[in-house]
Each structure stands twice: as structure tokens, then as C-alpha cells.
């Protein structure tokens, strides 16, 4: 078995700038890769079987994005090879950190090499979009200004930073939050080149905090140290810090029972460096 990293991401801001006729929301965001994430162990099989070796709580095989990614790549490429896949989860389910999408992207990137397919990244990203809107970002492998429903990516340079990330013990129902009538959906769009660190906010944050007290509690505590924000549709919240020592100091002061981690922002996906 070989081990491949699947990094987390943060939404440094998230604005809703419109809504399509089919109900999908039009977003603008900046996605930042982190040096914290899941590990995906894989081994090539000669018999063509795709097997999951480690069950994931709450995710049956039919819904497992890693298996879907492997089977889709297998079908589209026509390879006769298969794979054993084992995911060692660190990222919470439904935390807004992109764990499932990142795992799927890592499977695509790794099997592209293990199966000697040598597909270019754009072809893999096109395949990834069929699995989920965030998958192409992880396949692309660099921090990005994100638009549309998540499929339009503009690479962006971000300054070095560390992040204190807290994980409230709740699962936010994303579809429920996006369906709320009071959700702001008419933010003025900006150009990717006009983004600056610290810009904007997360338009989902206030509705989520109002409905999930644990998210509000974690945000409130972290806000005592700076501009605390929620990532994605939650439930995880984060604070950007200039250096590792400052991030570790804040994290060490968290109240008992608050879970989370400290991570460094990455410029590129480790599998593509």
C-alpha cells in the first residue's frame, strides 16, 4: 500500500452573488489548502476490483466518493486494473473542510499515476466535477478564487499564514441552510484580482450560528483573538494567525471540550508539488 495525502481547505470568505433557475446558488469564495487532512492508502489490483478496506461511519459504499472516483476513472479510461482503498479520516464529516471531495480528488490523482494513465489535470478535473463541485479545486492543486457553483477556478497567490481551526460537535445540514428564505443572495460580485486578505465574510455564518448554538459558542470564543470565521456551510470555524507560535498559543488556551487543530496554509497540493 502507498499513502497519499488529502488536504483540507478553508473558505477564507463565502459570498452568495445569485441563484440559477435550477436552484443552485452562485458563489464567490477563496479556497485555501491546509497541511492537515486525511490519508488515503491505495494498492493496485490486477483483477480490476475496486475495494474499500476501511468503513467510514455514516457513509455506505454506494455513497463513498473515493469508490465513486476510482470506478469513474476506471470506466472512463478503460483500464483493466483495480485498487484497494483505505481512508484514514482526520477531517470531520460535514465540517466545511472539503474532506470527502479532497479524498476523491486524491484517489483520482493517485490512480492516474498508479494505473499509468497520465491524464492531464484538466481532464481529471472535468471528471471530478461529476463527483462534486469542490473536487476540481483539489485536483487543480492550488489556492483559488472560486466562482459559479464552485467549478470556475482562478489560481491565486496568498501570503503565508497559520490557522486555528475548531470543530464544533454538530453536523450542519447544508441543504437546509441554503434553503433559508432570509439568506442573503445578492452580494455584489468582485473580480478575482481585486481580492485582498481579510475581504468579505461568510454569508452562511449568521444563519448557521443562529440555529446551531455550538457553532455560535466556538465562533464567540475564537473571536476574542481576531477575525473568526466559519468555513463553508460549517460547522468548523477558524482564525488566521501570522505564525505557528501564535496559533499554538491560542489553541492551547481553548476551553475544555473544544476540539480542533492548528494547520499551516499551503500554496499547492502536496501530490502536485
The CATH number linked to 40 is 3.30.230.10
126 and 193 inside one domain = no
Does 178 map to a domain? Answer: yes
User: How many whole angstroms separate alpha carbon 257 and alpha carbon 259?
Assistant: 6
Task: Respond yes or no: is residue 184 known to be catalytic.
Answer: no
The reply to whether 133 and 17 lie within a common domain is yes
Same domain, 102 and 141: yes
Do residues 183 and 203 touch, judged by C-beta distance below 8 A? yes
Of the residues 123, 156, 189, the one at which a domain ends: 156
Mean pLDDT of all residues in the chain? Answer: 95
Q: Quote the pLDDT of residue 56.
A: 82
**Whether residue 223 sits in one domain with residue 132:** no
Given pLDDT bands bounded at 50, 70 and 90, which one contains residue 77? very high
14 and 129, same domain (yes or no): yes
Is residue 273 over pLDDT 80? no
Higher per-residue confidence, 15 vs 149: 15
Which of residues 112, 141, 156 is at a domain's end? 156
Q: Does residue 233 belong to any structural domain of this protein?
A: yes
Region 173-185: mean pLDDT is 89
Residues 172 and 121 grouped into a single domain: no
Structural domain includes residue 271: no
32 Cα distance to chain centroid: 9
pLDDT class for 108, splitting at 50, 70, 90? very high
Last residue of a domain, one of 141, 156, 171: 156
* pTM: predicted TM-score of the whole model, two decimal places: 0.95
Decide if 212 is inside a domain.
yes
Residue 129 domain boundaries: 2-156
Q: Domain total for the chain? A: 2
Label residue 19 exposed, middle or buried (CB < 10 Å: 0-12, 13-18, 19+).
middle
173, 152: one domain: no
Residues 203 and 96 in one domain: no
How far, in Å, are 23, 37, 191 from residue 20 at the CA level? 5, 32, 20
Predicted confidence band at 268 (pLDDT cuts at 50, 70, 90)? very high
Q: What is the CATH number of the domain that holds 185?
A: 3.30.70.890
For residue 135, what pLDDT band results from cuts at 50, 70 and 90? Answer: very high
Q: Assess if residue 238 is contained within a domain.
A: yes
Q: How confident is the model at residue 60 (pLDDT cuts 50, 70, 90)?
A: confident
**Catalytic residue list contains 89:** no
- Asked if residue 133 and residue 18 are part of one domain, the reply reads yes
What value does the mean pLDDT take over residues 10-28? Answer: 94
Same domain flag for 218 and 184:
yes
Least confident of 62-66, 155-159, 213-217: 62-66
| Residue 57 belongs to some domain of the structure | yes
How sure is the predictor about 264, in pLDDT bands with cuts at 50, 70 and 90? very high
| % pLDDT > 90, the chain | 88
Confidence of residue 113 (pLDDT cuts 50, 70, 90): very high
pLDDT score for 18 = 95
273 belongs to a structural domain: no
CA–CA dist 95, 172 (Å, integer): 8
Query: Residue 257, Cβ neighbours under 10 Å: how many?
Result: 6
Mean pLDDT confidence for 107-117 = 98
Which of the 8 DSSP states describes residue 122? Answer: H
* Co-location of 203 and 79 in the same domain: no
Q: Are residues 10 and 83 in the same domain?
A: yes
Is residue 16 included in any domain, yes or no? Answer: yes
Range in 84-88, 172-176, 225-229, 265-269 the model is least confident about: 172-176
Query: Closest Cα partner for 86 from 40, 127, 21?
Result: 40
Among 38, 103, 134, 203, the active-site one is: 134
- In this prediction, residue 157 carries a pLDDT of 96
* For the chain, percent of residues with pLDDT exceeding 70: 100
Amino acid at each position: 500500500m502507498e499513502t497519499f495525502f488529502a488536504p483540507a481547505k478553508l473558505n477564507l470568505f463565502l459570498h452568495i452573488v445569485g441563484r440559477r433557475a435550477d436552484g443552485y446558488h452562485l458563489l464567490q469564495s477563496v479556497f485555501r489548502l491546509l497541511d492537515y487532512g486525511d490519508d488515503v492508502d491505495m494498492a493496485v489490483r490486477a483483477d480490476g476490483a475496486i475495494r474499500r478496506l476501511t468503513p467510514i461511519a455514516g457513509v455506505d459504499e454506494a455513497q463513498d466518493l473515493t469508490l465513486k472516483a476510482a470506478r469513474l476513472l476506471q470506466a472512463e479510461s478503460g483500464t483493466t486494473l483495480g485498487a484497494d482503498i483505505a481512508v484514514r479520516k482526520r477531517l470531520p464529516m460535514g465540517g466545511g473542510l472539503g474532506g470527502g471531495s479532497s479524498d476523491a480528488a486524491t484517489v483520482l490523482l493517485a490512480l492516474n499515476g498508479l494505473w499509468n494513465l497520465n491524464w492531464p489535470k484538466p481532464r481529471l478535473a472535468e471528471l471530478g466535477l461529476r463527483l462534486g463541485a469542490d473536487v476540481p479545486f483539489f485536483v487543480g492543486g492550488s489556492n483559488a478564487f472560486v466562482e459559479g457553483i464552485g467549478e470556475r477556478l482562478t489560481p491565486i497567490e496568498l501570503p503565508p499564514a497559520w490557522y486555528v481551526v475548531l470543530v464544533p460537535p454538530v453536523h450542519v445540514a447544508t441543504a437546509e441552510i441554503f434553503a433559508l428564505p432570509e439568506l442573503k443572495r445578492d452580494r455584489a460580485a468582485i473580480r478575482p484580482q481585486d481580492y485582498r486578505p481579510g475581504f468579505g465574510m461568510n454569508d452562511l455564518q449568521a444563519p448557521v450560528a443562529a440555529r446551531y448554538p455550538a457553532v455560535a459558542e466556538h465562533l464567540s470564543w475564537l473571536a476574542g483573538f481576531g477575525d473568526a470565521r466559519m468555513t463553508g456551510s460549517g460547522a468548523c470555524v477558524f482564525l488566521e494567525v501570522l505564525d505557528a507560535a501564535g496559533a499554538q498559543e491560542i489553541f492551547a488556551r481553548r476551553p475544555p471540550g473544544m476540539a480542533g487543530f492548528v494547520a499551516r496554509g499551503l500554496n499547492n497540493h502536496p501530490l502536485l508539488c
